Amino acid sequence: MKTRFTLAFALIGACCFAQEPATKEEKSTVTVQPVIVVDGIKYLRSDSANALQKLNPEKIREIKVLRGQEAINLYGEDGKSGVIVVTTKAGSTAKPLYLLDGKRVEDLSSVDPTDIQSIEVIKDAVKLLPFGDEGKWGVIKITSKKKNYFR
């Protein structure tokens, strides 16, 4: 239990301090912080410490540290300082919130794919705030061509 918690913070420290600034002047002024992703939710650097403090070490299934081009390919410019991806035991069964024309749906099997106009996937932590706990694993917004699929 304590081992996983210690490992998590050791990985964070390794990722934070392993990055080298571009110039000598930056060494004294730049603090490099990785992006933290917990069960698919990306936390802003200012929220990352808070996200890790709320984790129960016994609930952690896996921790990955991404650096270099792999982190940039997956997370864009945010990933250039590294990414720590934490998967919890509960996160492996978590499902996103599905909205069809603004209404929550559990089963999409009745939706004809030819009736779909657009699909928007929301994963950013800030954009998920309006959806509360229901949207913490992401939101998939589907807009039908009929604009109100339920009528």
**Band of the pLDDT at 92, cuts 50, 70, 90?**
low
Q: Is the pTM of this model over 0.95?
A: no
Cα 47 to Cα 4, 17, 51, 52, 92: the distances in Å are 21, 19, 6, 9, 22
As separate numbers, helices (DSSP H) first and strands (DSSP E) second, the chain gives 5, 8
d(CA 47, CA 129): 13
Q: Is a pLDDT exceeding 80 seen at residue 114?
A: yes
Max intra-chain CA distance, the chain: 64
Cα–Cα nearest to 75, from 119, 39, 124, 31: 124
